[in-house]
Amino acid sequence: MDKQTILDAAVTLAATRGYENVFKRNISSVLGIGMGTVNYHWGTMDALRTAIIHEGIRTGNKPVVLQAASRRDPILWRKNLSPALREKLDTLGIDVNA
């Protein structure tokens, strides 16, 4: 199982179950892998949630981004978002400075 496959599953879970309901346990269950594999590739939930948001922005997965935005998730509003991710947010109509 590779890192991108795990991230794809996490993004899908965020879109279907809600961003706040994504846990390593859910991801490992959906993929039929041990939680150790998720831990190996992602380490902390903060790292995984950051990746979920960044992937949501990158791919234009508006439901995932809007869920994080509605919670005012600090990961989304960190100043370290790349210019490309900021531009993508603009195209989705989401203002990170609000």
Which pLDDT score, from 0 to 100, does residue 10 have?
95
Confidence band, pLDDT 50/70/90 cuts, at residue 50: confident
CATH ID of 3-92, from 1.10.357.10, 2.160.10.10, 3.40.470.10, 1.10.760.10: 1.10.357.10
Look up the pTM and report it.
Answer: 0.80
Of the listed ranges 4-18, 34-48, 55-69, the one predicted with least confidence: 55-69
The pLDDT of residue 31 is: 97
C-alpha distances in Å from residue 20, one per residue of 13, 54, 56, 58, 88: 10, 15, 14, 19, 22
